[in-house]
Structure 1
């Protein structure tokens, strides 16, 4: 899982390069002031242009494994089925099972 980098307002004076590098690799960054979240830096993407910030944020968090598909659909303000259909068309797996975990669950279902 990819984490979110946190920067303070003061950090930005010296670490703008880090913030830019995070954006270049598609990583979210949280900027705080006095220990409180101030804003979220969302990397620019085709999804952001086409579907808006809510969908882009939901997609990013879902891809990182930070939130479930149901929560992502709520953030994107979409029905779950529509969100899953959209990400499926983008070749993003809607289910991410470890092969051993899947085998174990299938064995349990057979019993």
Structure 2
């Protein structure tokens, strides 16, 4: 299943969609973040090479490098500009794969 986690410059999570997804984030240092709970980035069709981040227009000159540790599920994110660690002005959205959420039972109406 696909999900989006939106990070702020302090490593905190601004938003997770869908909300029930078990993703978490933390800052490891200036321009460095760790995201837990993913299965990696959403693959870029048709080659299935990892893709899946969006920077706000205020941060569009920054470079983003993302490594996925398949064993732990962690994403290590590094944001730089001109080769130096970069503090986000706005947000970074990561488009990731996550485990499917449990199904919600459908209750049949007793009417009609």
Pair member with larger Rg: 1
Name the TM-score class by shorter chain.
Answer: under 0.3
TM-score, normalised by the number of residues in structure 1: 0.21
More helix by share: 1
Larger relative CO (CA 8 A, sep 6+): 1 or 2?
A: 2
